[in-house]
């Protein structure tokens, strides 16, 4: 026990003296030039806390953010961490990032519950750029993201045109309580009110997953109901539904399949083959975030509290150009 206490004391001494010699040491290392705020050198630090990097859209998001930051590497230092979808972990990551005194913090929140650490960072004078998802607080610099309601509306107009204002649409849905689902559904149904001859079947919650959408579609097709279009709340589910259609030995003509996200090369390829009809790009906000961060470093903070990124339709005609314009598509 005495030995243990002795070690604890030694630990404290090491810890404290480490702190002292640490500060003098870093001054020496910087050769006296280290009077700037960030002790890692002159370049300001930009950090990015990603919610998770698991789905294809987030992978593209990560790749584009990194590519944009590398292009501007003479302006900023860049570092990122992935919270694996755990809000508690994201709080820890942001708190630890703040210790490094970054100039700009980019955050794509897992949930609004990470706002505690975001507010703290903002209160310390760090510019906070929220990406894709907002928080229940005004303590951030700007929010960059796509507009899912607008995407829903544009998808509806496109489908109505393709069906000449008449037919049956099966809507395969994403996670029921998620905001993107509500918006992609709401925008779509809002426009479809204009087309009384189009019947909408509200399909199941397939959780944005290919496998679930496939199983659901297989079951749906057994009913033998005729449909002219499948509108899925993301591309993965559109692919799942298409695979189910192909496996069902269909006799009649295939319905058209429309998805959202446009972040995978696989989807673009399927559009080129005519397996899917179209997808609507849900833009990743990372590159824009880095661009705004660079402006903040130069002393031009953004004027708007919200920056909306436009969507873009991908069809057979535009598929090749789309691949060329988006080099970071998920394989």
Partner 1 sequence: MKAPANKHWLQLLQRYQGLVGLLLLLAVALFLDREHFYTGGNFSNVLNQLAVPGILAVGMTFVILTGGIDLSVGSLLGLLNCIAATWLVSGAGVGPTILYTLFIGTLVGAILGFLVGVTKLQPFVVTLAGMVSLRGLAYVYTNNGTVSGLGKSLEFLIKPVAGIPLSAWIMLTITAIAAVLLWGTVFGRNVYAVGGNEDAARYAGLPIAKVRIGAYAANGLCVALAALIYTARNMNGDPSAGTAYELDAITAVVVGGCSLLGGYGGVLGTFIGALFIVCLNVLLILKGVNTYVGMGWKGIIILVAVYLQNLGRRS
Q: How far is the CB of 329 from partner 1 (least distance, A)?
A: 22
Query: Closer CB to partner 1, residue 28 or residue 249?
Result: 28
Closest to 107 (Cα-Cα) out of 139, 150, 77:
139
**For residue 178, what is the DSSP state?**
S
DSSP secondary structure string for all residues of 89-155? HHHHHHHHHHHT--SEEEE--SSGGGHHHHHHHHHTT-EEEEES---SSS-SSEEEEE-HHHHHHHH
- Interacting residue ranges for partner 1, rule: CB under 8 A: 3-4, 7, 10-11, 14-15, 18-19, 21-23, 25-26, 39-40, 79, 81-88, 91-93, 95-100, 111-116, 136, 176-177
Query: Closer CB to partner 1, residue 101 or residue 272?
Result: 101
Run of H or E including 185:
helix 179-192
Query: Closer CB to partner 1, residue 255 or residue 286?
Result: 286
| Spatial distance between the Cα atoms of 331 and 328, rounded to a whole number of angstroms | 9
Query: Closer CB to partner 1, residue 115 or residue 141?
Result: 115
Residues 6+ apart with CB under 8 A from 277: 162, 256, 257, 258, 271, 315
Query: Closer CB to partner 1, residue 119 or residue 150?
Result: 119
Closest to 183 (Cα-Cα) out of 136, 135, 143, 151:
151
DSSP lists the bridge partners of residue 257 as 230
């Amino acid at each position: 026990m005495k030995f243990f206490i002795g070690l604890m004391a030694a630990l404290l001494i090491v810890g404290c003296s480490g702190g002292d010699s640490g500060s003098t040491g870093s001054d020496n290392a910087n050769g006296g030039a280290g009077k700037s705020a960030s002790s890692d050198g002159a370049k300001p630090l930009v950090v990015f806390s990603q919610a998770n990097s698991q789905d294809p859209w987030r992978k593209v998001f990560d790749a584009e953010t990194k590519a944009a930051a590398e292009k501007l590497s003479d302006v900023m230092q860049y570092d990122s961490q992935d919270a694996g979808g755990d809000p508690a972990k994201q709080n820890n990551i942001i708190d630890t990032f703040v210790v490094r005194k970054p100039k700009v913090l980019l955050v794509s929140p897992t949930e609004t519950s990470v706002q505690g650490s975001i507010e703290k960072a903002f209160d310390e004078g760090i510019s906070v750029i929220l990406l894709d998802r907002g928080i229940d607080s005004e303590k951030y610099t700007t929010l960059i993201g796509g507009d899912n309601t607008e995407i829903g509306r544009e998808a509806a107009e496109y489908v109505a045109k393709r069906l000449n204002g008449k037919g049956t649409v099966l809507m395969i849905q994403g996670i029921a309580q998620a905001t993107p689902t509500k918006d992609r559904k709401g925008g779509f149904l809002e426009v479809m009110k204009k087309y009384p001859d189009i019947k909408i079947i509200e399909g199941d919650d397939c959780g944005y997953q290919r496998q679930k959408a496939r199983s659901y579609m297989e079951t749906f097709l057994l009913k033998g109901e005729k449909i002219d279009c499948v509108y899925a709340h993301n591309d993965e589910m559109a692919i799942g539904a298409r695979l189910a259609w192909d496996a069902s030995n269909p006799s009649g003509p295939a319905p058209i399949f429309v998805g959202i996200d446009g972040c995978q090369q696989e989807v673009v390829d399927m559009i080129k083959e005519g397996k899917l009809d179209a997808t609507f790009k849900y833009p990743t906000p990372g590159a824009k975030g880095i661009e705004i961060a660079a402006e903040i470093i130069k002393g031009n903070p953004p004027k708007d509290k919200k920056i909306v990124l436009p969507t873009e339709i991908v069809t057979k005609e535009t598929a090749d150009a789309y691949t060329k314009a988006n080099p970071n598509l998920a394989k």
